[in-house]
Amino acid sequence: MAVIQATINTLLTQYQLSSGNMPSSLGRSQTKDTIVQWCHGAPGYIPLMCACVRVYPDQAERYISHAIKMAETVWERGLLRKGVGLCHGIAGNGYAFL
């Protein structure tokens, strides 16, 4: 469990963008902040943050803070024109709020 938590913490500290979004991929494009989709950004990370609150209660405030910042990004920029699907559509971004 320690390795999993360390990996999650690295993702948050090293890769989370200032907007709260997560990069769509690592490498050359990891600083681009253009995609807010379940499969390529913050919406898919919100359930992970919620799970971390349950699994790592000693750091619950930290994970809640990240989840809120991600949710704000989804709320502000997550209305998509790609369709209704879970992966690339509005359903995935809506699911992040359930």
Looking at residue 88, its pLDDT comes to 87
Full residue range of the structural domain in which residue 8 is found:
2-95
Of 41, 39, 37, the residue nearest 17 (C-alpha)? 41
What mean pLDDT do residues 63-89 have? Answer: 91
- Is 88 within any annotated ligand binding site? yes
Counting other chains too, the contacts that 76-79 makes at CB distance below 8 Å and 24 or more residues apart are 77/19, 77/21, 77/36, 78/36, 78/43
Rounded distance between C-alpha atoms, residue 84 and residue 16, angstroms: 26
The pTM of the full predicted model, rounded to 2 decimals, is: 0.90
Spell out the residues 6+ positions from residue 47 whose beta carbon is closer than 8 angstroms to its own.
Answer: 96
- Is 66 within any annotated ligand binding site? no
- Domains in the chain: how many in total? 1
- Is 87 within any annotated ligand binding site? yes
> Which has more confidence, 68 or 35?
68
Q: Is the dihedral of CA 66, 69, 72, 73 positive or negative?
A: negative
